[in-house]
Amino acid sequence: MATVLKIPAKFHPITHLPETKVQKRRVAAYARVSTDSEEQQTSYAAQVDRYTKYIQERADWEFVAVYTDEGISALNTKHRDGFNRMVADALDGKIDLIVTKSVSRFARNTVDSLTTVRKLKEKGVEVFFEKENIYTLDSKGELLITIMSSLAQEESRSISENVTWGQRKQMADGKVSLPYKHFLGYRKGADGLPEIVPEEAEIVRNIYRWFMEGKTPTGIARTLTEQGVPTPAGKEQWCSSTVKSILTNEKYKGSALLQKRFTVDFLTKKSKVNEGE
């Protein structure tokens, strides 16, 4: 004869209504903007505020944090501290669900995107891409992410090629872009051409004169530091490498050598010295 075991419902001691315990999901969000412009900073703050409210408004969700990266590209995850911290916390069992705006906000590199999603999946952590309406634990999730990540990666390749074409066109037209903020002795003139800054030009002349008199770059750097002369970047301490870069910069003799280095791979941003490639 079979035994039937009856499990009584649990009742709330005050309301006497059946009590069922709902396990809340611990939810975090990821927000990123890829430039430091004022417009993007507004977008960044808006994303953080929106996701904080979005998660806290759900009764079945428990807010963990909004992880952020500001002024960082999504092409690889190496320098994305907020992203890496979020993934580490998720793998440590502190997060059940990650909410983010889109696949391209998460990563524009197909390999990084899929590797991260699979790592999280193994630990039972789900990612929700709001724009594409993709949940990674869904059976179709990985296929959709592969497609969307590939499209995002190709978009990055296209942008990179367009930027490269624009720079090469400027070079062909004889237009030179100078890093005036870190270029001692010059500023951008009203006509867009370099204009000499007299007090800074004197420092440059001293560097060349001391070198001709036999001083080493290290000795020149020490002298400039002792004299309290700020570096091109506005720092107090001069390095021999900074002095060497001034001594070898062809622009101080009125010439401009363009494309000394070039980017080998748009994903890794690795660059190398141009040897005729």
Query: What pLDDT does residue 188 have?
Result: 80
CATH number of residue 122's parent domain: 3.40.50.1390
Residues 117 and 209 in one domain: no
CB 60 within 8 Å of CB 24:
yes
Cα dihedral 83→87→89→93 (10° resolution): 160
- Is the domain of 36 the same as that of 131? yes
Same domain, 33 and 150: yes
Looking at the fold, whether 146 and 186 belong to one and the same domain comes out as: no
**Count of domains observed in the chain:** 2
Average pLDDT, consecutive stretches of 10 residues, N- to C-terminus, the chain (277 residues)? 66 53 84 61 76 91 90 55 91 93 74 81 90 82 69 69 71 68 79 80 88 89 89 86 84 71 63 72
Question: Given this model, what pLDDT does residue 25 score?
Answer: 92
Range of 248's domain? 180-273
- The pLDDT value given to residue 76: 46
Judge whether 143 lies within some domain.
Answer: yes
Q: Are 142 and 50 contained in the same domain? A: yes
Query: Quick one: pLDDT at residue 40?
Result: 52
* Statement to judge: residues 112 and 230 lie in one domain: no
9 in any annotated domain: no
* pLDDT score of 7: 64
- Give me the pLDDT at residue 92, please: 94
Specify the pLDDT at position 94: 94
Q: What is the pTM of this model?
A: 0.48
Same domain flag for 121 and 60: yes
Residues 63 and 149 in one domain: yes
Q: Are residues 84 and 138 in the same domain?
A: yes
Chosen domain end from 110, 139, 154:
154
Domain end marker among 154, 170, 200: 154
234: alpha, beta or left, given left = phi > 0 and alpha = psi -120 to 50? left
pLDDT of residue 74: 43
Whether 184 and 74 share a structural domain: no
> Are residue 217 and residue 137 in the same domain, yes or no?
no
Report the chain's C-alpha Rg in angstroms.
28
Tell me, rounded to whole angstroms, the distance of Cα 100 from its chain centroid. 16
